[in-house]
Structure 1
């Protein structure tokens, strides 16, 4: 049979342990293992050969020269760095494509470039919208100018039509004036002829009257002489 004191101590220990575990879980943080490796480059196929490079970081670009296996059937690759350094490295550390970190960096670079391109496109779009608004304003102004010019042209056409009509009326009036002037000259000539004819007739009548008076005077004188001769005889 378990004593009450021992049972109570057991419960207290269990409670303390539970609180401790809960506290540790509450303060636990998520961690990740880094994928960066430092791979040594050796002068030959095996760990007994000297290290020509203490550690190539993961993602280093290498030129593959050849592959071979050592006595333990471990596959090795002879490679050359971009600086011209040659050596051997286990093939298990080599990949046919860049690592996830490099891909992520490239992706981040592309994303940054895309963000820059997007910002540039947004700026270009904003500039194009501003230019479009300016063009719309210019178009509206041109439309107003066109309407005004069209109205002025219509007025000019009316004035032109009126000018043509006035010109035609002027031509007709000028023709009528010339005709009336010709008739006036003809009438003036006829009037001069009539005046000359009337003067001639008046001259003839006057001359006839004068000649009749002379003849009458001669007749009267002739009668007077005869009368005196009869009285003398």
Structure 2
């Protein structure tokens, strides 16, 4: 009689189970570890325990009792309240992923920082080289200016010497010319007295 009653209850319970369909991924709620049962209701015996965050496959649901039939990672098929299932990945699986993402981002930031430091160092070297080149050009420019000043002074001194020589030459020419003119005048005055005069023939005396 007890067997018949149990069979009847089982038929009534399973009659409310929805049609089975493709398994859907679910996760045990992170807030707790939960017991699983052999059937879709609290009246079924406990057959095991699943850890919070564990991934399972939802095979079918019972809308009356709000239980779902699941399959765990070990291949066991049991029932669990739907309220203890979640569609989002558990923190246990998400935390390592987030930690890996943080590590990847940290590595990228480190690479960016290293690249930036390298570029900054290269720019500083270029600026330093540019400053050195500019200083060399300034020194060369100042050197050329000094040489130009010296050359201008030499030219000025040469011009002064040339002017002095020209004046000297002109004075010499004046002196030579004056001497020649003086000698000519002297000769013009002296020579007539040095040449003997011829006596004139007196025709009347003949």
**TM-score normalised to the size of structure 1?**
0.47
Match of 2:107 in 1: 119
In the alignment, is residue 51 of structure 1 matched against residue 39 of structure 2? no
Q: For the residues of structure 1 that align with 2:160 and 2:118, how far apart are their CA atoms?
A: 62
The correspondence of residues 96-107 of structure 1 with structure 2, limited to 5 A, is 98-100=88-90, 103-107=91-95
Match of 2:146 in 1: 158
Q: For the residues of structure 1 that align with 2:185 and 2:143, how far apart are their CA atoms?
A: 61
Which structure's residues are more often helix, by fraction? 1
Deviation at 1:99, TM superposition (A): 4.3
Q: For the residues of structure 1 that align with 2:131 and 2:111, how far apart are their CA atoms?
A: 30
RMSD value over aligned CA atoms? Answer: 3.8
Q: Which has the larger radius of gyration?
A: 1
Deviation at 1:190, TM superposition (A): 1.8
After superposition, the C-alpha distances for 1:94-124 in whole angstroms (9 at most, x for unaligned) are 65x7242xx4544433332332222222223
After superposition, the C-alpha distances for 1:208-227 in whole angstroms (9 at most, x for unaligned) are xx12xx45xx9xxxxxxxxx
In the superposition, relative to structure 1, how do residues 106 and 49 fare at CA in structure 2: closer, same or farther (>3 Å)?
Answer: closer
Q: For the residues of structure 1 that align with 2:167 and 2:95, how far apart are their CA atoms?
A: 102
In the superposition, relative to structure 1, how do residues 99 and 138 fare at CA in structure 2: closer, same or farther (>3 Å)?
Answer: closer
Q: For the residues of structure 1 that align with 2:93 and 2:187, how far apart are their CA atoms?
A: 134
Match of 2:175 in 1: 187
Given that 2:66 and 2:82 are in contact with CA atoms closer than 8 Å, whether structure 1 keeps it comes out as: yes
Q: For the residues of structure 1 that align with 2:16 and 2:188, how far apart are their CA atoms?
A: 165
In the superposition, relative to structure 1, how do residues 169 and 99 fare at CA in structure 2: closer, same or farther (>3 Å)?
Answer: same
Given that 2:26 and 2:85 are in contact with CA atoms closer than 8 Å, whether structure 1 keeps it comes out as: no
Match of 1:149 in 2: 137
In the superposition, relative to structure 1, how do residues 128 and 201 fare at CA in structure 2: closer, same or farther (>3 Å)?
Answer: same
**TM-score normalised to the size of structure 2?**
0.52
The correspondence of residues 1-233 of structure 1 with structure 2, limited to 5 A, is 47-53=16-22, 55-58=23-26, 92=83, 98-100=88-90, 103-207=91-195, 210-211=196-197, 214=198
The number of equivalent residue pairs is 143
Higher RCO (C-alpha 8 Å, min separation 6): 2
Unaligned 5+ segments in structure 1 are 1-45, 61-69, 77-89, 219-233
Deviation at 1:58, TM superposition (A): 0.7
Classify the secondary structure of the residue corresponding to 2:88. Answer: coil
Unaligned 5+ segments in structure 2 are 1-14, 28-54, 56-62, 68-80, 202-206
Match of 1:84 in 2: none
Classify the secondary structure of the residue corresponding to 1:58. Answer: strand
Deviation at 1:162, TM superposition (A): 1.0
